[in-house]
Amino acid sequence: MTNPAQQTIWLKDYTPPAYLVESVSLTFALAPRATRVVSKIAFRPNPETADRSFFLHGEQLNLLSAKIDGKEVTPDVTEDGLTCPAPDAPFVWEAEVEISPETNTALEGLYMSNGMYCTQCEAEGFRKITYYPDRPDVMAPFTVRIESDLPVLLSNGNPSASGDGWAEWHDPWPKPAYLFALVAGELVNHPDRFTTKSGKDVELNIWVRPGDEGKCAYGMDALKRSMTWDEEVYGREYDLDIFNIVAVDDFNMGAMENKGLNIFNSSAVLCSPETSTDANFARIEAIIAHEYFHNWTGNRITCRDWFQLCLKEGLTVYRDQQFSRDMRGEAVHRIEEVLALRARQFREDAGPLAHPVRPESFVEINNFYTATVYEKGAEVIGMLKQLVGDEGYAKALDLYFERHDGDASTIEDWLKVFEDATGRDLTQFKRWYSQAGTPQVRVTDDYADGRYTLTLEQETQPTPGQSNKDPLVIPVAVGLLNPNGDEVQPTTVLELTEAKQSFTFEGLSSRPVPSILRGFSAPVTIQKDSDDAERTFLLAHDTDPFNKWEAGRTLAKSVLSRMVLNGETAPTSYLDALRAVARDDTLDPAFRSLALALPGGEDMAQSIFALGHCPDPDAIFRACRSLRDAIAAHLSEPLASLYDQMAIDGPFSPDAKDAGRRSLRQSALSYLTRLDGGERATALYAAADNMTEQLGALASLIANGHGQSEVQSFANQWGHDRLVMDKWFGLQISHAQPEEAVSTAEALTQRDDFDWKNPNRFRSVIGALAMNSAGFHQASGAGYAFVADWLIRMDEANPQTAARMSTAFDSWRRYDADRQGMIRDALTRIGDRPNVSRDMAEMVTRMLG
């Protein structure tokens, strides 16, 4: 493989910067292909190092002039930056560069989206704007002047002055360059205000393209709820006079926490009942909160270097999860967190891309914005909180903000505040940050003379570059039920620290049924020789809602595995248990909906592989379909009454209660459509006045081979709305029959509105195919070839988005020799191009490695 600058960067090689920055002043004269950026940067030697080499990052810049203390200099310019002799004393660097935002399809640095200028600087995009020490441990206050005829000109901090064709912003809070942002465009705003708990009045705005004003109210409401929540729960107040959010159509990720000027993928902020599903509302609420919470965990306290990414991301995800649980219900949200963790992070941990929460090396940092850094990073914080208790956690967080405000910090700093605040030694706990892989905890038990003993053994399989694994500190929350279903031991957290350890419970009059890993207290897999009778018992009686759901989930997986591997049919005992859940009106509708959902193809492939078999995606698809039919037939009566009962009269509300009812109704519909020839779904589609029901009905129709006319009418109705059409593209592929998925995707890419350079549209087709497990893994290899062709095309325009989607191939070693061969060929074809990007080259190398 050709290696475009495949230079590996190591955590152990960290050295402090030679020069620090006192202040930055930037002037932008905006023009689509010739934007001029004038920078004036006050440097001073870093007293903590003797190194005096002056290096500024810079990529794809046309340097027009450079001065040090007013004198022209001629730096030595290379592809990735410049060096220049510099004084061993404070000095002022001035430079002028020219850049071309209009031709920037990578969407990093300054680029254009629908006539609007915007930026994305995390992780290393600022170096495409001007020459700068583009590393997070160099922090400075910024003053920014924007010159343009466009009416709205925004940057970080507070507005300081403006005139005809220009505006100036000043951000007093020292920040690294990755938090820099600039926006210029013809935008309209949805304004509001917020008074902080100490009485500071803050102007809030959501800026959007004209026409999108009607899709801002929910985002604004979520922002104000986030601001209040952070004050109440973490004591954190906002610290500028203004907080701006801008919606951008072309964006690689969900959103970005730039100081005072959050930039959002429009799909992560714009919503309305007619155009957005309940899932969209929930995601928007979580992302708005996430970006806002970064103001303290990420911006006021940032990362020393990119290896510490989980310091800000793990903590901020943990905080947004806490917020969403408070807004939407603890149990249901926890189940959703775990479903996402298993689907993305457990898969990552089990394959060639496994890496620690704090990686030790990288080639391209953009490849490390992963489920492991984000979601496992959040799980690690959840475990820490269980180990030190709620009070210990609150004390540690207060100390963290007090001690490190204004710092670029490390995981060592983070753990030290916990040690200092609680007195607990975290030496062993720290392994969670450095050891990759999902630990397996094997559970055996014994009962004699009123004494019940649980034995827990932990083991983590080798991962790339880490063959030996040490025991971790694993909080295992456990409860015990007696055979009548009464709880005889309320939840207690066992601390597993050894490879093998036993825990004893006394005074039990009969052998209890254990409920292990309540609330999913650690990101591990549990292995226990339980039978379906025990799982059915827990599904009926467990008092811990997470484990009640989990019992149903493991039961479904065990039934499905036997259907796939032994050709069995669904046992009546399972169908009866599920019917009892459907009928149990004491259960929250959202919970019931989750309990009625079956594991998907990818989830089953993971499970079957873990059982030591090679998964056959077609056989899994057939088994899932046959189980759905059995459930539909066995539960037809309760499902039909749920479908009627869960209908909502009155206006649409996106709140969790109504969303839960719609979700349960949709679960019922998806089964009933297998029985009623699409009658209910067709009627619902015609009557729906909100996108949740319209799209849900359409999904049920497509999945069952109906709905051709609805697919057409949907496009006629929504052709003008980019975000709705993304759903339309995606749905046809994700619900396609396996043998039709590739041809459907191919046909959709022929359409004029398949604007593939837009990451959302690209994901809605190529990403949807990669997630249709049986469609993507068709034995012909057509799915692999199709995805590979598009990744190659995208890699040339936007390496970051292409590289992220290449993870579709990361589970390749699970499959049979034919499929493995075809995937290896596809990956080799992607990686062997002379112009392969650094992002993609690293991903392919690791996946084939």
Interface residue list for ligand 0A1 (CB under 6 A): 120, 122-123, 252-257, 290-291, 313, 366, 369, 800
The answer to whether residues 807 and 768 touch, using CB atoms and an 8 Å cutoff, is no
Q: How far is the CB of 263 from ligand 0A1 (least distance, A)?
A: 9
Q: How far is the CB of 375 from Zn ion (least distance, A)?
A: 11
Token readout for 838 is 């650094």
Question: With CB under 5 A, what is the number of residues at the site for Zn ion?
Answer: 2
Token readout for 33 is 């292909």
Q: How far is the CB of 257 from ligand 0A1 (least distance, A)?
A: 6
255 binds, among Zn ion, ligand 0A1, none (CB under 5 to 8 A by kind): ligand 0A1
Residue with tokens 């399809």: 105
Residue 202 bridge partners (DSSP): 194
Distance of alpha carbon 662 from alpha carbon 589, whole angstroms = 9
Per-residue x/- track, 398-417, Zn ion (CB under 5 A): --------------------
Applying CB under 5 A, which part among 210-218, 313-321, 384-392, 681-689 lies near Zn ion?
Answer: 313-321
Applying CB under 5 A, which part among 209-217, 310-318, 448-456, 520-528 lies near Zn ion?
Answer: 310-318
Q: How far is the CB of 125 from ligand 0A1 (least distance, A)?
A: 7
Applying CB under 5 A, which part among 311-319, 338-346, 409-417, 722-730 lies near Zn ion?
Answer: 311-319
Nearer to ligand 0A1 (CB atom), residue 302 or residue 561: 302
Per-residue x/- track, 314-353, Zn ion (CB under 5 A): --x-------------------------------------
Distance of alpha carbon 120 from alpha carbon 112, whole angstroms = 11
366 binds, among Zn ion, ligand 0A1, none (CB under 5 to 8 A by kind): ligand 0A1
Question: Quick one: CA torsion of 467, 472, 475, 479, rounded to 10 degrees?
Answer: 60
Applying CB under 5 A, which part among 92-100, 306-314, 434-442, 789-797 lies near Zn ion?
Answer: 306-314
Q: How far is the CB of 178 from ligand 0A1 (least distance, A)?
A: 8
Nearer to Zn ion (CB atom), residue 310 or residue 646: 310
Distance of alpha carbon 254 from alpha carbon 625, whole angstroms = 33
The answer to whether residues 109 and 798 touch, using CB atoms and an 8 Å cutoff, is no
Q: How far is the CB of 316 from ligand 0A1 (least distance, A)?
A: 7
Distance of alpha carbon 449 from alpha carbon 742, whole angstroms = 61
Residue 159 bridge partners (DSSP): 169
Nearer to Zn ion (CB atom), residue 309 or residue 454: 309
Q: Where are the beta strands (DSSP E) in 783-835?
A: none
Token readout for 503 is 């825990």
Nearer to Zn ion (CB atom), residue 178 or residue 643: 178
Token readout for 600 is 């998907």
Residue 240 region, left (φ>0) first, then alpha (ψ -120 to 50), else beta? beta
Between CA 413 and CA 380, with CA 340 as vertex, the angle to 5 degrees is 20
CB-nearest residue to ligand 0A1: 253
Nearer to Zn ion (CB atom), residue 152 or residue 245: 245
Helix, coil or strand: residue 258: coil
Q: Which residues contact 263 (CB under 8 A, 6 or more apart)?
A: 118, 119, 120, 181, 183, 245, 246, 248, 251, 255, 256
369 binds, among Zn ion, ligand 0A1, none (CB under 5 to 8 A by kind): ligand 0A1
Answer yes or no: 98 catalytic: no
168 binds, among ligand 0A1, Zn ion, none (CB under 5 to 8 A by kind): none
Q: How far is the CB of 318 from Zn ion (least distance, A)?
A: 11
Distance of alpha carbon 614 from alpha carbon 173, whole angstroms = 54
Distance of alpha carbon 198 from alpha carbon 346, whole angstroms = 43
291 binds, among ligand 0A1, Zn ion, none (CB under 5 to 8 A by kind): ligand 0A1
The answer to whether residues 233 and 292 touch, using CB atoms and an 8 Å cutoff, is no
Task: Indicate which residue of 108, 257, 291, 550 is catalytic.
Answer: 291
DSSP letter at 393? H
Helix, coil or strand: residue 102: helix
The DSSP code sequence of 533-561 is HHHHHHHHH-SSHHHHHHHHHHHHHHHHH
Q: How far is the CB of 397 from ligand 0A1 (least distance, A)?
A: 19
Nearer to ligand 0A1 (CB atom), residue 30 or residue 263: 263
Nearer to ligand 0A1 (CB atom), residue 17 or residue 377: 377
Q: How far is the CB of 258 from Zn ion (least distance, A)?
A: 12
Nearer to ligand 0A1 (CB atom), residue 135 or residue 579: 135
Q: How far is the CB of 127 from ligand 0A1 (least distance, A)?
A: 13
Nearer to ligand 0A1 (CB atom), residue 159 or residue 254: 254
21 binds, among ligand 0A1, Zn ion, none (CB under 5 to 8 A by kind): none
Q: Which among 491, 618, 620 is positioned nearest to 560, based on CA atoms?
A: 620
Nearer to ligand 0A1 (CB atom), residue 136 or residue 512: 136
The DSSP code sequence of 31-100 is -SS-EEEEEEEEEEE-TT------EEE-SS-EEEEEEETTEE---EEETTEEE----SS-EEEEEEEEE-
252 binds, among ligand 0A1, Zn ion, none (CB under 5 to 8 A by kind): ligand 0A1
Burial pattern 791-814, b for ≥16 Cβ within 10 A else e, equals bbebbeebbbbbbbbbbbbbbbeb
Residue 424 region, left (φ>0) first, then alpha (ψ -120 to 50), else beta? beta
438 binds, among ligand 0A1, Zn ion, none (CB under 5 to 8 A by kind): none
Q: Which among 779, 789, 783 is positioned nearest to 770, based on CA atoms?
A: 783
Helix, coil or strand: residue 22: strand
349 binds, among ligand 0A1, Zn ion, none (CB under 5 to 8 A by kind): none
Q: How far is the CB of 591 from ligand 0A1 (least distance, A)?
A: 29
Distance of alpha carbon 410 from alpha carbon 424, whole angstroms = 19
The answer to whether residues 733 and 772 touch, using CB atoms and an 8 Å cutoff, is yes
**Sheet strands side by side (includes 188-195):** 188-195, 201-208, 242-248, 261-265, 255-256
Nearer to ligand 0A1 (CB atom), residue 177 or residue 516: 177
Distance of alpha carbon 533 from alpha carbon 558, whole angstroms = 12
Q: How far is the CB of 254 from Zn ion (least distance, A)?
A: 9
Nearer to ligand 0A1 (CB atom), residue 108 or residue 147: 108
Residue 489 bridge partners (DSSP): 480
Nearer to ligand 0A1 (CB atom), residue 302 or residue 515: 302
Angle between helix 545-566 and helix 572-583 axes, rounded to 10 deg: 150
253 binds, among Zn ion, ligand 0A1, none (CB under 5 to 8 A by kind): ligand 0A1
123 binds, among ligand 0A1, Zn ion, none (CB under 5 to 8 A by kind): ligand 0A1
Q: How far is the CB of 236 from ligand 0A1 (least distance, A)?
A: 17
Task: Kindly list the residues in this chain that would bind Zn ion in the complex (CB under 5 A).
Answer: 313, 316
Catalytic residues: 291
